[in-house]
Amino acid sequence: INAQAHLGHVQEFLLADSLARWYTSLGYCVTLQSGTDDNSFKNIKAAELENSDLKEFIKQKQFQYLDLLKKLN
């Protein structure tokens, strides 16, 4: 989550959700888990470039991704 959410993320989320729904329809017990790599070196560097505290930077970006996921339902 070292940058703004973009179309590539939308594609990734939709494909993962489609696969989860497909396997559920076949009778499999499916758990779709997604998350952020909060300890990524890229996050540390991105926060430094914005002169931002890492925890605040992560929190701000997480809300952007959660908002995107809500819009995608």
Q: Which DSSP string do the residues of 11-57 spell out, in sequence order?
A: HHHHHHHHHHHHHHHTT----------TT-HHHHHHHHHTT--HHHH
Rg of the chain taking only CA atoms, in angstroms: 15
Q: What is the pLDDT of residues 1-53, one digit of tens each?
A: 788 888 988 999 999 999 999 999 999 999 998 777 777 898 999 999 999 99
Angle formed by the axes of helices 7-25 and 54-72, to 10°?
A: 60
